[in-house]
Structure 1
Amino acid sequence: MLADPATYSSELSSLAPTQEDFEVFRQGNFVGMDPPEHRRLRALVSQAFTPRVVQGLAPRIEAVCAQLLDAVADQDRFDLVDALAYPLPIIVIAELLGVPPEEHRLFQEWAGILFGDELSEQLGDELDMADLERALAAIAPTVREMNGYVLQHIRNRRADPGDDLTSRLIAAEVDGVRLEDQQMVGFVALLLIAGHVTTTALLGNAVVTFDRQPGTDAALRADPGLLPQAIEEVLRWLPPFPELGRRVTRPVVLGGQELAADTLLMTHLGAANRDPARFEAPGVFDVTRHPNPHLTFGHGIHFCFGAPLARLEARIALRTVHKRFCALAVPSYEDVTYQNPAVIIGVRRLPVEVVRP
């Protein structure tokens, strides 16, 4: 399904409730587009958000991790989400876009509302259209504020370009075509949402999994070179967004079922990641697993655009944690709270105890 966008479309607007504030977001959200629009927009954005740009963020990510952990240097117990997993990707994305440091808190506030308790309560445990409409209405003012801010930031950069992603997006050009302001607003919103919450969830999921799988933390400390493979295994084990929606564009038979055009399907990446036909001992968490063809970042033309950044942030953050603390444990899972799985697979609060060298 993920490899056949002509039959299984990512363009779901006809099946979703309409909300004016979200229409701006859709203009630059190539996750919800099909070719050729998807190809054009992704090609433009790719000119600005290159692998070299992402890799160049490594020193700054290291510095941000150090600063965040310095803030809890006098504490033997703290919430890892509040201290590191939540603020790290927000700060990195805001700086990447050229947002002034004093305005980073706005991005944290927006992300907190868009993926906070209110949205989780509106959606409930099962996703239906009525819940979705209520959830969109609840967060629409925040989306409107965010869109307005980002649009003004883009206009400021047009007048005074800098060495940041926003300025590079403005300058990007393919076959004489440039990004429109509204398209950039949608992409920035996509980067803020997808780029932030995925990394936050990945970091929390990694710490929980390493803690709950006996011997894992010790193995990674003994052989730090295993960390990239361990991160891939966490992604397979607990994909932050385990489902992707697709719309059938024509009558089709799938798995012996006849499906009419415009049927909404949910592809379950979490199930694919435990497929015994693809993974040996899929129910075993194995930090040495290689290869690891999980689908957590998707597949085909919609493979996650921010995957390199999420992997880089996770690798640097977890390596920094190992260097800072000779031991880190979750003392009580009764104190751990989880996100609404209808929204994202991850932890909301993660109290940990640490031992310093």
Structure 2
Amino acid sequence: MTSHDETTGVTADRSLVDSSDPAPWFELMRRRHPVWRDDQFGMWHVFRHADVEAALSDPATFSSDSRAEMAAMPAFRPFTRGNFMVMDPPGHRRLRGLVATAFGRRAMEQLEPLVTTIVDDLLDDAKGAGELELVTELAHPMPVFVLADLLGLPRSDRPLLFTWAKVLTGVDVSAAAEPADPASSLGEMNTYLLDHITRRRRSPGPDLVSRLVQAEVDGDRLADEELVGIVSLLLIAGHLMATMLVANSVLCLDGHPEQAAAVRADPGALPGAIEEVLRYRNSADRLVRTTTREVEVAGRAIPAGARVLLWTGSANRDPSAFPDPERFDVTRSPNRHLGFGHGVHFCLGAPLGRLEARVALGRLLARTGSVRVLPGVEYFGSHSLIRKLPIKVRWA
């Protein structure tokens, strides 16, 4: 049965790849169907902040482990072994702990000059053009280049890494190119990373891959396939997160000129603006989990083995958690958004994503007198996944 709200014209049924603004749908579902099973996909959906947060806090019941499904595809096996995003504790804790120090406060302070140089180089390449495509020219290449340097990958291989990132995340803005096969690209990347790991075992350097090669867990070193999976995860997930955060930040500021003016006037407001973007327009607007037992959520029994979509995008607009949630406010405090998830799977790369977004936006605003979004924005999959973002700039 389909529920329809006569006051808004919104129905409960909605495609999972709908790129229209989901805010009216989120409001309807929180109010009338906070826990809902759709007949089309056979999945359960959870919409309210308290319920989403509670589920993310309970990995024993809401499992992230999808290794069996991914391992059925040969090219994905190395990616699966080291991908702690698709693991539950204790395996998740073992692998995540090894790389956590690379994203600490001191590490980010040391990375900031590198990020600034990369952003300025990309803006130098674009300077003089009155119009540019933000995803292609800044938001997409920046995190790939940053991660390549962090991992100790040769700068000469940037074009190769850039190509793999485009194929494996779906952010391929080259309309003239034939779409590549993701499994084939992943296989190529696995081979490349394995060769790099082997060389780092023989001759370690100051980079993150070298530190992982030398790390020990309970007296054991990581296997090569685990290392391939960890590095692949950082390249793919880390790239997409930062790309979308920069693009969504520009869209939010363009849609709220008074807030953009406040940020231009006070660069110290940038961190708060980024947090509000993560709440208001986060790219990871849903997280998938599988129930390990029957569990009751908001009065409804979800059976064991059910696939559950936890709508963080809806939770971030829940009025029970955020006063006036439809207002974009760069000074919002507190801001308990779920833009980077919550609990044991809180995004490991959140400090890096925040750093990259802050530097990219800060340098873009500092080097321009104005930035305006042009018609022709393209999406893929959802309202917050941006494929193309044309902008008009007036350089300072």
> Do the structures match in fold with TM over 0.5?
yes
Question: What is residue 378 of structure 2 aligned with on the other side?
Answer: 337
SS at the partner of 2:56? coil
CA contact (8 A) 1:47 1:172 kept: no
**2:392 maps to 1:349:** no
Partners of 1:14 and 1:182 lie apart in 2 by: 16
Question: What is residue 281 of structure 2 aligned with on the other side?
Answer: 238
Question: What is residue 90 of structure 2 aligned with on the other side?
Answer: 36
CA contact (8 A) 2:295 2:303 kept: yes
**2:135 maps to 1:81:** yes
SS at the partner of 1:279? coil
CA contact (8 A) 1:89 1:195 kept: yes
**2:117 maps to 1:63:** yes
Deviation at 1:346, TM superposition (A): 2.5
Partners of 2:215 and 2:70 lie apart in 1 by: 31
2:313 to 250, 254, 270: 270
The gaps in structure 2 that reach 5 residues or longer are: 1-54, 174-178
Question: What is residue 36 of structure 2 aligned with on the other side?
Answer: none
TM-aligned CA distance change 1:114 to 1:15, over 3 Å: closer
Q: How does 1:141-290 map to 2 (within 5 A)?
A: 141-290=184-333
CA contact (8 A) 1:298 1:304 kept: yes
Number of equivalent positions:
338
Partners of 2:260 and 2:103 lie apart in 1 by: 33
Q: Which region of structure 1 is more displaced relative to structure 2, 314-323 or 216-225?
A: 216-225
Q: Which region of structure 1 is more displaced relative to structure 2, 147-156 or 256-265?
A: 256-265
Deviation at 1:93, TM superposition (A): 0.4
CA contact (8 A) 1:48 1:172 kept: no
Deviations 1:287-327 (A, max 9, x none): 11011100011111111000000000000111101110011
Partners of 2:353 and 2:143 lie apart in 1 by: 8
Deviation at 1:81, TM superposition (A): 1.3
TM-aligned CA distance change 1:354 to 1:117, over 3 Å: closer
Question: What is residue 6 of structure 2 aligned with on the other side?
Answer: none
Q: Which region of structure 1 is more displaced relative to structure 2, 90-99 or 46-55?
A: 46-55
Task: Provide the identity percentage.
Answer: 46
CA contact (8 A) 1:44 1:178 kept: no
Partners of 2:359 and 2:236 lie apart in 1 by: 21
TM-aligned CA distance change 1:288 to 1:50, over 3 Å: closer
Question: What is residue 51 of structure 2 aligned with on the other side?
Answer: none
TM-aligned CA distance change 1:24 to 1:246, over 3 Å: same
Q: Which region of structure 1 is more displaced relative to structure 2, 262-271 or 15-24?
A: 15-24
Question: What is residue 101 of structure 1 aligned with on the other side?
Answer: 155
Q: Which amino acid aligns with 1:146?
A: M
TM-aligned CA distance change 1:117 to 1:315, over 3 Å: closer
TM-aligned CA distance change 1:205 to 1:161, over 3 Å: same
CA contact (8 A) 2:128 2:395 kept: no
TM-score, scaled relative to structure 1: 0.90
CA contact (8 A) 2:200 2:209 kept: yes
RMSD: 2.0
Question: What is residue 3 of structure 2 aligned with on the other side?
Answer: none
Deviation at 1:257, TM superposition (A): 2.2
Deviation at 1:65, TM superposition (A): 0.7
Deviation at 1:67, TM superposition (A): 0.6
TM-aligned CA distance change 1:103 to 1:14, over 3 Å: closer
